[in-house]
Chain A
C-alpha cells in the first residue's frame, strides 16, 4: 500500500541495491545477535521507509504509521496531518490508550514528531510529561512539561505543540488554564533571568510574556534545567523549586512569541477561539533592534553606488581571539557577492576561491565556518575556483589577482597588502531560505552573456555591422575571456563592457575619477614593455609621483591590475592593455602621442549625472556596469572538523570498573586490583545489572547463562528495595532500577573473555567506564572492548564507533578528485555523466546519488579499522564469517554507513562513494537535510551500518534527560525529498540563472517574488527529476583544494593564533586592525581574565586521588571521601595571568581605546593585589648594590 516516491528506473535500481545490501547486513546482524550475547537477540534499530514509519518507531504508538499514510493520501499537508492525528489519538481512535493522560501525552508527541519529520529527539526528550491538573476553581486543565532538548525541535514545532495541546484538551472537554497573578509574574521573571544566564534568540518584553501566560489555554511548564534560581517570585505552590525552567522559557520566547504568525495561521484554519491574544503579539512584535547598525555604509559616499541595504554588525560583535575578521560589514575590499551555485555549495555553504583561502593565511579551508553579514548568519566554506580570488599588492608594488591556488602560493611570500579579498559565491536559494531581499548582482560574465546574446541577435537582425567578428553566443568558453580589441568592439556595438575590462569605478568619488584622468592626461604615456618574450603596449605612469599624488592607491582600490618596473632608470607603473582604461576615463591620445582629457566633473554634474559609474558610461560612450555593488562582511566561526568521536573520558567498552582501573579506567589494571594484601585479585564492588538464570538459578551479568538458558533481569525498587523483574515496583509503582552495588570477581570475567577470543593476553590498556548510566546498568560484553582495544577503536554512549565531520553539500563528483577511478564509480552504479555521455574517464562529472557519501581520508582510515574490528567480532565472538575483509581504504567503497546528527534520534542510511583530502564529510544536500542539518558549519557523524546493528542497544542509553538523543533509535533507509527538512527545497539546481534574476537583483526584490522562474528542488518534487538531472552554475576543479587544515587548528597557542589574526588584519584593506584588537580584547581576553579572576576567588577544589570535587576546602585539609587524598585548586594563578601580558602588548601595539587600556591595567593591578603577600618583603636588585 505504501506510496513510492517518483523516480527513474536508474534511481530505482540504486535504491534497490542499497536496500539489498542493507538486508544482507541485517541478516548477518540478526544471526549474530540471535546467539544471545547481546541485550536483545535481534537488531535494535527499526527500519523506516518513510516519515510515517519513523514517527511510529520513534514514539512507539502502534497504528500511527498506517493512519498517517491514509491522512497523507487525503492531501493534507504536514501540519494539518499533525493536528488531525493528534486529535484522533487523544480521542482514542488511534493508539488505544486507556488513560486520558497517556493519550494526550502520545497525541502531543506524535504530532510534534510529524512536524519535525520524525528525526529530532525533541518529541521524546523535549516533553518530560503531560498532566491533567486542576485550576483553583476546580476545573481541569492541561499542563505540558517541557525540558531542555525541546530546543532541537525549532520554534515552529515548539509553538505548534502548544496549539496541539489546546486542540486535544478541547476534544477531552478540559477547561483552560487559569493562572494566578503571582504565577504570571514568576514566568516573566524566570524568562528574564533565563535570557541572562542561558541564551535566547529573542528577548521578550514582560508584557509579551504576561500576555501569553495569562491567555494561553494550556499551561506551559517545565523541568528545572538551570542551576540559577529566580530571586523574586519564589516558592510558588504550583511550581516545585525555584530553579529556572529552560524548556518553558524556550517554548514561550522562541516558540510562541517568535512564531506567533505561523500559529495564527493554523488557529484561523481550525477556527479555534481563545487565541485572539496572538493578534496583539503579532502587532506588538518588536522590530529589528536599534543597536548595532551604527557602522556607516562604506558605499555611502557621494558618487558611489548607494546600497539600499544597511550594513549589519551582528556577526562581528563577539570577535574571538584567533578567529580572524576578514571584512568589516559591507566594507570596500571585503568579500564581493557573486550569485550562483557550485557543486559543493548551497544549503548554507558558500564558495570562495582556493587562492583566497591561501592568501587569507590559511584560516579558511573546506568546511570552515564563516560568520557572515548576510544572507544568513553563518556559512560553511568550500573551494570554488571559477570565481575571482583576492587582489593583492606585492612588495615590489605590483597589483595582481590570484584566482587559483597555485598562483596564490607562488605570490604569497611577496604579498604586502590585500586590497580585495575576492568573491564569495552564494546561491539564490540561500537568499530565499533566509528571506533576505536580493542585493544587486555584480556585472559578472553570466549576466554579460545574456546581454551579449541579445546584442548579437539584435546586430544579426539589424545587419548594420559585420557579424563575422562576433563569436557565436553558444561558444561560451571563447567568450569567457576576450581580447581588449573584441571587448571594445562589442561595447561599441552597444553591448555592455565585458567584465574582464571592468573596474570598481563605483567606489570612486566623481572628483577622484577626474583626478585619475587628469593625472594620466598629464603624466601618462604609451610605452612598449618586454614581458618575458613578447612586447606589450602599456599605459605607463611615473611611480613616485603616482604614489605622492595618491593615484596609485586609487588605481589599487578599484582593482586596476598593474606592474611596477624600471624603465630607463625610472620606476614606472605599467597597465596593460591600456586602451580600455583610457577609454573609460575618456583620455584620448593625440596625434603627437600626448594625452588629452576632454571633460570636467562640473560638466557631468550639470548634466544631472550623480553616480561615478554613470559618469564613466557617459564619458566613455560605452555601457559600463557596476562590477561589485554588494559586499559581504565575514569573520571566522568554527574551524572545520574531522575527528573520531570519543566520550570524555574515552571508552572502549561500557563495562563498569569504578575507581579500580585507575584514572585511565583501565580494565587491565582493574583485573589486577587488590583491596589489600589478603584480598582476591580483581575483586571489587561495583554497580552492575545482575540477571538470574531461570533454569539453574545462577546469577550473572550476562544475557545467557553458562547452561545456555537466556537470563532474566533482576531489578529492584530504589525506594522499597523490593527485588523484581518488572519495570515497576509492585508495591509503590515507582520505576525500578538495575545494578545494586555488588562485589564481583572481575579477573576471571576478563581472563575468560581473552581466552574465548583467542587473542594474546598482552594488553596494556583497555578503556572501560567508571559506572554505567543506564537504568538497568546493563554492561557490554567485555569481549567487544578487548577487540576494540586491539584495533584502537573507541565508542560512544550507545556502544557504536563514530566519526564526526563538518557537513558540506556536494551534488556532483569526479572520480579523479576522490582517489578512485571511473571504473570504481561504475561498480557503484554510476553510468552517465551530467551531459548524458557514458562514463569512461576519471574526470567526467557525474551527479552524486543522494545517499552516497564522500568522507575524509582520516575518517576512512578509522572506518577501515572499525571494519577490521567488526570482522574480528563476527569471527571470534559470534563465530560467523567475517563480512568486510577490507585491507585498504579503497575497499571501503560501497560500504554501508549510518549518518546521524546531534540532537536527533533518527539515522539515515548512506553508502561510501569516495574519499577526500579535505577535513569534511561531503554528501548530497538531501542527505544532510534528512538528518535535519544544513551546512552552515554544522557537523555530524557516520558509523558503520553493521556496527550499529550489532552493537547498538537502547539498554546502554543513559537514564537521564537527553539520554535518547544522538542515538539511532530508528533508521531511514530511503531519502524521500518530500520528507526532509524543507530548507533543502529552496536549493536551486539550474545550470544558469535566468536573465530576469539579475535584473531582479538590481531592484532589491524579495527572492520569493521570482521563485517561479528559478529551477528549485521544490518545483521538482514528486517527479523523477527530484533525484537527478541536477546542474550547477559554477564549476570547481577540485573540491579538496585549499589548505589541508585551517591555521586555527595548526597554530598551537592562543597567543600564536591571535598574533596571526592581527597580522592578517593589518594586511587586509577591509579590516581595521586596531578595531579587531579592541574587539578581541573586549569580547574575549578581558572577559576571560575577569572570569578567571572571579573563578579563582570562588573556586572549587578537587582531590587528586579520587577526583572528588569540593565547593569549599574541607576543614580537615585533605580529602575525607577517600581518606586523605591531596586536594588541589581548580583555578591557579597561572590561569588568571595567562592573557594579561599578551593583552597589554596587543593593546599598546594596536592603539586600542584608552578605556580598554585602563581596563587591562586595572585587571593587572587586581591580579597583583590578589596574589601579593605584604608580609614577604620583596627584594629587588638594588638591595644588593
Chain B
C-alpha cells in the first residue's frame, strides 16, 4: 500500500491518521481497495486513527481475503456456467414513483412539492446547525441585538429563490422558508465563501450563518452549510458478492446504435469471450442495472426521423426486448426509463407501460426514474441524469467529460435535480422523489454519454456511458461520447472497474 493513498482515503473518510498507523497499514497483507471499508468500520467518534483502532479489523480482513482467494480458485476448477441462480439475485425496490403518482397539475401541488423538499432537506441541515425561521428575524430600523453581545451569529435554512451579483461583485442570495424570504450577502472579499457561493444553484436548500446588518435588512454570510453526506458516513450494507454491471443510453433504433459492440457485450454475458478471465467474470455477474434511454424513441427532437434506423416506437422496444432475451436468465436486470423512452417526460418518471414490459423476459424488473433499489443488500440510487445539463451550465468545474463531477454536486445538495424551471421537467408529486434521502452505496446515472466512476464519501458514483456513436448533433456541439464501455462493481469489495467493448479492444 502507498502512503499517499492511505492518507487520502483517510481524509476522504473524515479522519486523521498517525504515522504509526500508516506504517502498520503499509506492512499488512491487504490491498488498497480495502481502505474505504477499513475506515468505514472505524467509529465516528475517533478523531485521529491510531494502530490500536486498526489491528482487529485488519486481521479479520486478512483472513477473509485468504478465504475468498481459495474459494475463487476452487470455483474456477468447477467451471460451472453461472455461479448464482436467479433466485439468489433478488432485488428490493425501496423507492419508486410508479403506480403512486398524485399530481393532477394543480397549483397547490406545486407548493406541496417544494414544501416537502424544504422540510426533508432542511432537516438534514438542522441536525448540524441550529437555525431559526425567517419570520422570526427582527426587521425594521431599530433592530435590537439578538443577544447581549450584540451582533452574534444566527443561522437560517432556506431554499435559494434568487441569486444575483451586485455591481461590486458581492453575491446576493434570497433565501426562502415557509415563513418568508430574506436576503443574504456574500462579501466579495471573502474569497473562500464566494467560491462556495458561486456554485450554489437556484432552489437548492442551504443553511447560512452570519450577522444581521444593524438595520436588519440583510444577513452578512460567514458560513454556508449544504446538506451533503457527513464526512464520517459509513454504510451498514450487508456483505455481498458477485458483480453488478451498469449500463444506460442504449438508444436502440438510432442509426448510430453500435450493434456490433452491443453484440460483443451480449456474447460476453453469455460466457463467449475468448479471454478466460472475462469468462469467469461473466459467470459471476448477478445484476445489470440500466439507467434509461434503452431506445432512441421518436419525436424527441425535431427532424429525428432522419436519424432513425427504426422509426416505429413499438418496434424499437421489440428489438430491444429481443436483445434482453439473450441476457442469461440468472442475471437480474433492472431497467429505469430516460428522456428518450416512451413514458412521461416530467420527473419523477413512472416506469414503462405494461405493453412494453410484456415484451421483456421475466428476469427484468422495471422501475421508474429515479428509483432506489437494494441488490442483495447494496443500495443503488438510479437516476437517468437530465439535471446534468443544468449542472454543466451552472456550476464551474462540472463538465460532460467528467460526468461524476455533476453527481458529486447532487450528493452535496442531497438532491438529483435541484433547479426548477430549467432543463428538467417536474411533476409536482406530494413527495419529492428526487431527494437523496437514504445515503446509497451506489448512485448510477447516464444521459451524458460519457463514462465516469468515482468514490465520494464512501458512495460510489457511476455514470455508465452509452451504446450510441457520436450523432450529427453531438458533432455540431462538439460532444465526444465515450461509448461501448461498461462500469461494474465487485459487490464484495465494492471495487469498481470498466469493461471496454469497442472493436479494437
Residues of A within 8 A of B (CB): 192, 229, 231-232, 234-235, 1086-1087, 1090, 1093-1094, 1096-1101, 1111-1117, 1120, 1127-1129, 1132-1133, 1154-1155, 1158-1159, 1162-1163, 1165-1166, 1169-1175
User: Which chain B residue lies CB-closest to A1155?
Assistant: B311
Q: Is the CB of A1162 within 8 A of B420?
A: no
Given contacts A1100-B421, A1162-B342, A1175 and B107 within 8 Å (CB-CB): no
Q: Is the CB of A1171 within 8 A of B105?
A: yes
8 contacts between A and B (CB under 8 A): A1093-B345, A1097-B427, A1101-B107, A1115-B114, A1133-B104, A1162-B299, A1174-B99, A1175-B101
Q: Chain A residues near B107: list those with CB within 8 A.
A: 1101, 1113, 1127-1129
User: Which chain B residue lies CB-closest to A1172?
Assistant: B101
Is residue B166 within 8 Å, beta carbon to beta carbon, of the partner chain?
no
Q: Is the CB of B177 within 8 A of A229?
A: no
Q: Chain B residues near A1113: list those with CB within 8 A.
A: 107, 110-111, 114
A1134 and B203 CA atoms in complex are apart in Å by 27
Q: Is the CB of B104 within 8 A of A1171?
A: yes
Q: Chain B residues near A1114: list those with CB within 8 A.
A: 111, 161, 176, 181
Min CB–CB distance A613 → chain B (angstroms):
39
Min CB–CB distance A204 → chain B (angstroms):
13
Task: Return the CB mask of B299-323 against A: 1 if under 8 Å, else 0.
Answer: 1001001000001111000000000
Is residue B350 within 8 Å, beta carbon to beta carbon, of the partner chain?
yes
Task: Return the CB mask of B367-403 against A: 1 if under 8 Å, else 0.
Answer: 0000000000000000000000000110010000000
Min CB–CB distance A605 → chain B (angstroms):
41
Q: Chain A residues near B478: list those with CB within 8 A.
A: 232
Q: Chain A residues near B305: list those with CB within 8 A.
A: 1155
The number of residues on chain B lying at the interface, defined by a beta carbon within 8 Å of a beta carbon of chain A, is 53
Q: Is the CB of A1159 within 8 A of B299?
A: yes
Q: Is the CB of A1097 within 8 A of B298?
A: no
Given contacts A1096-B105, A1159-B298, A1115 and B427 within 8 Å (CB-CB): no
A231 and B178 CA atoms in complex are apart in Å by 34
Is residue B422 within 8 Å, beta carbon to beta carbon, of the partner chain?
yes
Known: A1127-B107, A1159-B299, A1166-B345. 8 other contacts (CB 8 A): A1098-B421, A1112-B421, A1114-B176, A1154-B311, A1162-B299, A1170-B103, A1171-B105, A1174-B99
**Interface of A, helix, strand, loop or mixed by DSSP:** mixed
Q: Is the CB of B176 within 8 A of A1171?
A: no
Q: Is the CB of A1169 within 8 A of B350?
A: yes
A565 and B343 CA atoms in complex are apart in Å by 60
A1159 and B342 CA atoms in complex are apart in Å by 10
A1090 and B299 CA atoms in complex are apart in Å by 9
Is residue B34 within 8 Å, beta carbon to beta carbon, of the partner chain?
no
User: Which chain A residue lies CB-closest to B311?
Assistant: A1155
Q: Is the CB of B299 within 8 A of A1086?
A: yes
Q: Chain A residues near B108: list those with CB within 8 A.
A: 1117
Q: Is the CB of B345 within 8 A of A1112?
A: no
A575 and B177 CA atoms in complex are apart in Å by 85
Is residue B100 within 8 Å, beta carbon to beta carbon, of the partner chain?
yes
Given contacts A1112-B421, A1115-B177, A1116-B179, A1154 and B312 within 8 Å (CB-CB): yes
B312 in complex: contacting residue of A229, A1155, A1171, CB < 8 Å? A1155
**Interface of B, helix, strand, loop or mixed by DSSP:** loop
Q: Chain A residues near B178: list those with CB within 8 A.
A: 1115-1116
B353 in complex: contacting residue of A229, A1158, A1165, CB < 8 Å? A1165
Q: Chain B residues near A1132: list those with CB within 8 A.
A: 105
Q: Chain A residues near B350: list those with CB within 8 A.
A: 1169
CB contacts between A and B, total, < 8 Å = 127
B203, B302, B345, B427: residue with the most chain A Cβ atoms closer than 10 Å: B345
Is residue B126 within 8 Å, beta carbon to beta carbon, of the partner chain?
no
Q: Is the CB of A1173 within 8 A of B298?
A: no
Q: Chain A residues near B81: list those with CB within 8 A.
A: none
Is residue B346 within 8 Å, beta carbon to beta carbon, of the partner chain?
yes
Min CB–CB distance A209 → chain B (angstroms):
13
A229 and B423 CA atoms in complex are apart in Å by 13
A1101, A1113, A1127: residue with the most chain B Cβ atoms closer than 10 Å: A1113
Is residue B59 within 8 Å, beta carbon to beta carbon, of the partner chain?
no
B176 in complex: contacting residue of A1115, A1159, A1169, CB < 8 Å? A1115
Q: Is the CB of B476 within 8 A of A192?
A: yes
User: Which chain B residue lies CB-closest to A1174?
Assistant: B101
B345 in complex: contacting residue of A1097, A1116, A1127, A1133, CB < 8 Å? A1097
Q: Is the CB of B298 within 8 A of A1162?
A: yes
Min CB–CB distance A264 → chain B (angstroms):
29
Task: Return the CB mask of B454-495 against A: 1 if under 8 Å, else 0.
Answer: 000000000000000000000011100000000000000000
User: Which chain A residue lies CB-closest to B98?
Assistant: A1174
The 10 closest A-B pairs by CB, nearest first: A1097-B425, A1169-B344, A1159-B299, A1097-B346, A1115-B178, A1166-B344, A1113-B110, A1098-B421, A1117-B111, A1112-B420
B203 in complex: contacting residue of A229, A1097, A1112, CB < 8 Å? A1112
B105, B202, B393: residue with the most chain A Cβ atoms closer than 10 Å: B105
Q: Chain A residues near B104: list those with CB within 8 A.
A: 1133, 1171-1173
Is residue B223 within 8 Å, beta carbon to beta carbon, of the partner chain?
no
A564 and B476 CA atoms in complex are apart in Å by 61
Given contacts A1128-B107, A1158-B298, A1169 and B343 within 8 Å (CB-CB): yes
A1116 and B396 CA atoms in complex are apart in Å by 32
Is residue B257 within 8 Å, beta carbon to beta carbon, of the partner chain?
no
Min CB–CB distance B244 → chain A (angstroms):
29
A295 and B420 CA atoms in complex are apart in Å by 44
A234 and B398 CA atoms in complex are apart in Å by 13
Q: Chain A residues near B427: list those with CB within 8 A.
A: 1097, 1170
Q: Chain B residues near A1154: list those with CB within 8 A.
A: 311-312
Q: Is the CB of A231 within 8 A of B114?
A: no
User: Which chain A residue lies CB-closest to B344?
Assistant: A1169
Min CB–CB distance B433 → chain A (angstroms):
13
Min CB–CB distance B228 → chain A (angstroms):
22
Min CB–CB distance A978 → chain B (angstroms):
46
Q: Chain A residues near B99: list those with CB within 8 A.
A: 1174
Min CB–CB distance B401 → chain A (angstroms):
11
A5 and B12 CA atoms in complex are apart in Å by 85
A235 and B394 CA atoms in complex are apart in Å by 12
A1096 and B100 CA atoms in complex are apart in Å by 20
Q: Chain A residues near B313: list those with CB within 8 A.
A: 1158, 1162
A1097 in complex: contacting residue of B115, B311, B426, CB < 8 Å? B426
Q: Chain B residues near A1174: list those with CB within 8 A.
A: 99-102
Q: Is the CB of B393 within 8 A of A1115?
A: no
Q: Chain B residues near A1162: list those with CB within 8 A.
A: 298-299, 313, 342
Q: Is the CB of A229 within 8 A of B345?
A: no
